[in-house]
Amino acid sequence: MPSVLLIPHPSTPGAPVHRLVASVAMTPARAVALSFRVEGDIDRLRIPPPAGPRRADGLWRGTCFEAFVMAGDGPGYHEINLSPSGAWAAYAFRGYRDGGVLDAELDPEIVVQKAAGCLDLDAVIRAECLPRQRAGARLRLGLTAVLEDLGGRLTYWALRHSAIRPDFHRAEGFALDLPPP
């Protein structure tokens, strides 16, 4: 699984986080396996407690990890939100911010581990919850995170930022190509 470094948006410096690394791989069943690792003063982050798997909107208002997934050159894409609590959300868009709730049960199998100085979140997104691909087409991903500190301040992390304000929906953010298995 190749690893990539997420960077904080310049308007939201990353302290208390020192580093955020993500990795992604497509499984033989065409599911997408995601891993996120946050390194830093984890005790200064607001991490929602475990609450079990469930669909929930507004996860981006606090600590959550996200994958924006586009088949080929789009313009349609899906947004997957994963909370350390086990909650998740999924949205389908026809184009830039044009869409709504994805009518599928994601059931992303979220696994969270917290240790001194790091927080890990792993999840598997089933193939039927991803945008439809033509045979042999690649997936383009934007891997992102929103991290909330104990004071309620949010920082926005992504592979690439292309706007003055954080905006994970912009096509420039889909910066990672995932070839078919």
Structure confidence at residue 35 (pLDDT): 97
* Mean pLDDT value across the chain: 91
Percent of the chain at pLDDT > 70 equals 97
48: CATH: 2.60.40.1190
* For the chain, the helix, strand and coil percentages under 3-state DSSP, each to the nearest 5: 5, 50, 45
Structural domain range at position 99: 3-178
Q: Cα dist. 96→9, 134, 172 in Å?
A: 20, 21, 11
How many angstroms separate the CA atoms of 38 and 93, rounded?
A: 28
Rounded CA Rg of the chain: 15
pLDDT at 141 > cutoff 70: yes
Higher local confidence (pLDDT), 104 or 95: 95
* pLDDT of 84: 97
Q: For residue range 39-66, what is the model confidence (pLDDT) as tens digits?
A: 999 999 999 999 989 999 999 999 999 9
The count of domains in the chain is: 1
